[in-house]
Amino acid sequence: MEKVIVTQGLTRRFGVRTVVDGLDVAVRTQAITGFLGPNGAGKTTTISLLLGLLRPDGGSAEVLGLPPGHPEALAQIGALVESPSLYDHLTGLENLEITRLMRDLERSEVDRVLKLVDLLRDAKRPVRDYSLGMRQRLGVALAMMGQPRLLILDEPTNGLDPEGIQDMRELLRSLPLETGASVFLSSHLLAEVEQVAQDLVVIHKGKLKYMGPTEQLGASDQAELMVRAGDPARAQAILEGQGFSCTVAEARVWIQAPASEAPRIAASLVGGGCDLYELAPHKVNLEARFLALLEEA
């Protein structure tokens, strides 16, 4: 499958501090890839390297099969890095029109991106009257001018209220389907990324910690079952007597065992006279696994 971003050993230092440290990344086409890491992990620096705004101190990168900053690559990339640069005294439409004229695009392109980000009704309002969410959507519209193959977004939901986050989430989900663009989405908002991204790249202190499908990050390395019983301590004793490894926390028994062991666990508890209220697999969520990755570092 075609890769829109490939890095090999990508490294960037500022003085004695290594901010991006030997990064090996491959991002597939026509998907939303979440680029996760805590503040200071090296995400914005990596994006600057991919856009050719910074030069690497080591390693290499290709974006759309070309070196970062190559004119042919930049012509096919839309980017929103941090807050969009807008003319507040002009309308949303006029901001887009400036970009259209500079890039010699068709007049219909302005209407296309306004519709895409749901700003047609507000296009003739001054940008100074826009909410933060509307400004961010206008920034995405600017990045989508010219129908880029790759959209790079750096923290597009940063500072938004719940309604603005919801609007941005719906917009991001629609982009690969409606435009065919690949989306590389940098964020530290784990719950938001989990809801829109098919793939994840996780970095910490400039190093790659995980790369792959979103659902695999949330999968626990060791299967675990959760039991709610009338007497958790008694349930623990019964199960440990059967050779299971388990602990009691939050009035529940947590058992290190695959789902296939559920029938034997249930039979042991009921046979031991323990009231069993619930027995279910425990799914580790993205946030828990993400935090575990950071602790491993």
Residue 270: which CATH number?
A: 3.30.70
Can you name the residues that pair with 61 across neighbouring β-strands? 7
CA pair distance 245, 240, nearest whole angstrom: 6
Looking at the structure, tell me whether residues 187 and 265 fall in a common domain: no
Looking at the structure, tell me whether residues 132 and 212 fall in a common domain: yes
In-domain check, residue 287: no
Nearest 5°: CA angle at 186, between 185 and 188? Answer: 130
Nearest 5°: CA angle at 252, between 251 and 257? Answer: 160
Domain boundary residue among 217, 240, 264? 217
Sign of the torsion formed by the C-alpha atoms of 13, 18, 22 and 28:
negative
Total structural domains in the chain?
2
Please list the ranges in the chain whose pLDDT falls under 50.
220-221
Q: Residue 96 is part of a domain; what is its CATH number?
A: 3.40.50.300
In-domain check, residue 64: yes
Q: What is the pLDDT of residues 155-170, one digit of tens each?
A: 888 888 888 888 888 9
Looking at the structure, tell me whether residues 173 and 274 fall in a common domain: no
pLDDT at 294 (0 to 100): 74
Pair 92, 138: CB distance under 8 Å: yes
Looking at the structure, tell me whether residues 150 and 265 fall in a common domain: no
Q: What letter does residue 86 receive in the DSSP assignment?
A: -
Looking at the structure, tell me whether residues 123 and 70 fall in a common domain: yes
Pair 199, 182: CB distance under 8 Å: no
pLDDT at 285 (0 to 100): 60
Q: What letter does residue 198 receive in the DSSP assignment?
A: S
Domain boundary residue among 188, 217, 246? 217
Range of the domain at 230: 225-281
Looking at the structure, tell me whether residues 182 and 267 fall in a common domain: no
pLDDT at 297 (0 to 100): 55
Looking at the structure, tell me whether residues 16 and 142 fall in a common domain: yes
